[in-house]
Structure 1
């Protein structure tokens, strides 16, 4: 069995805590999330790292943004978040890298995220972690195709897309190069 370290170990522990706080069995969580019981068990033991899609499903079930969940496993953030201290989540399978530039904080409703998608990357989320989540997506390099609430938009460098998310969403990088964008997330 592989030993989980650092953020992965703390994330595994927090995922187990969230399930237990709700009084759910692994079977109940599997039913709610659509993730197999065995995968959930391995995630909670830190034997595997979650993909962006799996983490997105769990965030939806637990009604948290991904940044908020990741912030819950980090120490209290300082007012100034140095680049070297910003938490980075990387999903090699999907080609998605997420940097928590300004992580969530109790008492604050907004956060800033930097995301990068490699060409051909395609990530879908079944539902927002919190219904009505407000997002402002500013593309810094390349282009990203974003589907939110049933509408698809191609957003290019310099463009900004803003919406409140009530349903499924999808982020796709049509290429030829990677897409890099900033997301301002505001809780309702």
Structure 2
């Protein structure tokens, strides 16, 4: 099933570029991702990292959940825990579970994130400026940086903010962190 999702994601990324009538060179210029990497992503030869997918979401004005929902076949109202879409970025140690049933017409969503100790993910910009996030740490701790300030968020704590610029998620350890993100589009 994972291969099917990755194949549909590759197709959707190519479709988004074509809908805008952008060449690979144009998308490379807008995203800061090399033309060769974009070509390999669209052909499904490689899986995008969290950072690459974040850049592409920014360029296309979508949250990661919305993009992943667009590759679903039909949006259900209930998604059983075992059927929730899970995406892994092995290189960064990030695991992302789409908890909310996908629906492109809705403005809010719930996502579960997991980072292994030492994981460090930086995003150049939000996929949608002004994106509201509520991050509730369920286990472990995470350092979240935005607006030039770093916030240490421990199990049970909740951090709420609007995202306008770069952000960073870092798991200082010693164990992994598991958190829920409540995302609200502006």
Q: How does 1:105-184 map to 2 (within 5 A)?
A: 105-184=103-182
Q: Is the Cα–Cα contact under 8 Å of residues 26 and 41 in structure 1 kept in the other structure?
A: yes
How much is the aligned-residue C-alpha RMSD, in angstroms? 1.1
CA displacement at 1:26 relative to structure 2: 0.2
Instruction: Provide the residue aligned with 1:100 in structure 2.
Output: 98
- Any idea what the Cα deviations from partners look like across 1:120-146, whole Å, max 9, x if unmatched? 000000000000000000000000000
Unaligned stretches of 5+ residues in structure 1: none
Match of 1:53 among 51, 54, 68: 51
Unaligned stretches of 5+ residues in structure 2: none
Q: Is the Cα–Cα contact under 8 Å of residues 67 and 103 in structure 1 kept in the other structure?
A: no
1:37 paired with 2:39, answer no
Aligned length: 185
Match of 2:21 among 13, 20, 23: 23
Distance 2:32 2:20 in 1: 17
Distance 1:103 1:67 in 2: 10
- Any idea what the Cα deviations from partners look like across 1:121-179, whole Å, max 9, x if unmatched? 00000000000000000000000000012221000000000000000000000000000
Distance 1:49 1:13 in 2: 12
State which drifts further: 86-95 or 103-112.
Answer: 103-112
CA displacement at 1:75 relative to structure 2: 1.8
Match of 2:84 among 78, 83, 86: 86
Q: Is the Cα–Cα contact under 8 Å of residues 68 and 103 in structure 1 kept in the other structure?
A: no
Q: Is the Cα–Cα contact under 8 Å of residues 76 and 102 in structure 2 kept in the other structure?
A: no
Q: TM-score with structure 2 length normalisation? A: 0.97
Q: TM-score with structure 1 length normalisation? A: 0.96
* 4+ aligned runs moved over 2 Å, structure 1: none
CA displacement at 1:103 relative to structure 2: 4.0
